[in-house]
Amino acid sequence: MSVLARSVGNAFRNKIRTAAVVAVLAVAIGLALAMLVANQAVGGKVQELNASVGTVLTVNPAGAQGFDGGGEPLTTAQTATAAAVPNVVSVVGTKALRLETATAASASTTGTTAQQAGPGGGPGGGTSVTTNLQAAIDAGTLGNRNNTSGSTGSGNTGTGNTGTAPTFSLPITATGIGAEVDTAGKALNITSGTGLGDYTVASTKALVGTTLATKNNLKAGSTFTIAGKTFTVAGIFDAGTTFGNNAVYTTLAEAQALAATPGELSSMVVTVNSMANVDAAKTALQTALGSSKADVTQGQRNLDTAVSSLDSVKNISLVAFIAALGTAGLIILLIMVMLVRERRREIGVLKAIGARNRTIGLQFVLEALVLVALGSVVGAAIASVASGGIASALISSNSSTAATSQRGPGGGGFGGAGLPGGGGPFGGASQLLTSVTASASPGVIAAGVAAVFGVAVVGALVPALLTARIRPIEVLRGE
């Protein structure tokens, strides 16, 4: 009988024990694989954040902060100055527009065209224009509260609040861009249709967010109007957030034409060649543009917290993977020690008839690998189901701990003031934390199983070779 056939037969000699061993191994292997999958997913997300967000600088007009700020607008000419700064690889100008539904705008006392944005205006002072689109987000309590804050409501006579404030219709964000990127410097995720083509010229093509498109029954090829001008939907994009998808993108030149502000920018998105050069590029950019002309900030600095939290999760998952892998190895070692002790007589007989130490060791290694193979199949199934939940639990636990440590007295303040995305200590970072998707890819599972098999070989070979070194006469005399 061959060594392989004898090993497989020995693995199933006691079926109840084999089933128990496989079940225990499956749990340990499944946990190890799930942790490896989580580690790979989080590591990939960290690299993505470092590559796309960590190297982005945002340039706003000096003193501008939505409808609360002031200052002078940036100009298209300044993009050339920014592009000449060392280590800067790209500069994308943007122009913010605030689209008000025509029926809501007609009821407003602020006018319908070329007015400075009220609540919701862009960093550089967005311009309000009308549209036939309906906002995809209901104003709700927060929208109505923010819109009527400090006002006296309809029917105001200047002596107090004598009427009920009208229901606020949330505006739609429109941005003119000079390249196919969003205002955080990341490539737009176009889910259907195409991009806008040449982003440097005026065009009546537009990109529409998924929720806004659904609300208005739009698809690629559909039309809508802005300031009485007909636009064609070139593509639908997914920004990943409800607010981000209530938006329209046009070419920069078209947005400037709609706002009647040729050559004017609301902001610039500047990408640096590496994270190591961000601080130097920020200083050089501020000097080149002038502190009285522009404010240069690192794009979404609060994402440092997200990256730090994800790094912690990555380290935890790696330690857990090693611990689970070590547990699987220990289980295999203990099982093989028990099996070797049970078969001392068998080993003595094999030695007496001329079997070599490596042959005896190979037999027990193959037997262990049969058990590990069965455990890996079940463990891989467990990992494919549980890895997403485990990763989410690790991230939620870690982000909750970080949120507690980051939150100052009195909570987050108005809309998470100062944090892009608002609402909480992470702002937009919290959405990135929850957007980590852990999927058990074949490559990651194969790598994990290979590591388990390596541990199994060591765990089976050590006791087998130690016993095989005993002389046959000693084994048989002891029996």
Judge if 210 and 313 occupy the same domain.
no
Is 417 a domain residue? no
Judge if 18 and 91 occupy the same domain.
no
Comparing 216 with 179, which gets the higher pLDDT?
A: 216
| Confidence band, pLDDT 50/70/90 cuts, at residue 68 | low
Which residue range(s) make up the domain with 460?
A: 3-50+305-405+422-478
183 neighbors 223 (Cβ within 8 angstroms): no
Task: Give mean pLDDT, residues 356-384.
Answer: 82
Comparing 475 with 117, which gets the higher pLDDT?
A: 475
Judge if 202 and 120 occupy the same domain.
yes
375 neighbors 26 (Cβ within 8 angstroms): yes
Q: Within 10 Å of residue 426's Cβ, how many Cβ atoms? A: 24
Judge if 355 and 471 occupy the same domain.
yes
Is 384 a domain residue? yes
pLDDT at 428: 42
Q: What is the pTM of this model?
A: 0.53
Residue 277 has pLDDT above 50, yes or no: yes
Is 151 a domain residue? no
Q: Of 343-352, 365-374, 429-438, give the lowest mean pLDDT range.
A: 429-438
Judge if 62 and 194 occupy the same domain.
yes
Is 342 a domain residue? yes
452 neighbors 328 (Cβ within 8 angstroms): yes
Residue 299 has pLDDT above 50, yes or no: yes
Is 415 a domain residue? no
DSSP string, 215-277: HTT--TT-EEEETTEEEEEEEEE--SSTTTTSEEEEEHHHHHHHTT-TTEESEEEEEES-GGG
Comparing 173 with 50, which gets the higher pLDDT?
A: 173
How far apart are alpha carbons 33 and 327 in whole angstroms?
13
| Confidence band, pLDDT 50/70/90 cuts, at residue 115 | very low
Is 126 a domain residue? yes
Judge if 46 and 60 occupy the same domain.
no
Judge if 188 and 272 occupy the same domain.
yes
Comparing 197 with 361, which gets the higher pLDDT?
A: 197
Judge if 466 and 395 occupy the same domain.
yes
Is 143 a domain residue? no
Judge if 390 and 453 occupy the same domain.
yes
Judge if 366 and 432 occupy the same domain.
yes
What backbone torsions phi and psi does residue 264 show, to the nearest 5 degrees? -100, 140
Give, for 433, the enclosing helix (H) or strand (E): helix 428-434
Count of residues for the chain? 479
Judge if 87 and 206 occupy the same domain.
yes
Tally of domains within the chain:
2
Q: Which of 255, 282, 299 is a domain's end point?
A: 299
Is 159 a domain residue? no
Task: Give mean pLDDT, residues 329-358.
Answer: 78
Task: Give mean pLDDT, residues 199-226.
Answer: 92
Q: Which of 299, 319, 350 is a domain's end point?
A: 299
Judge if 103 and 200 occupy the same domain.
yes
Q: Which of 234, 266, 299 is a domain's end point?
A: 299
Of the chain, the end-to-end C-alpha distance in Å amounts to: 24
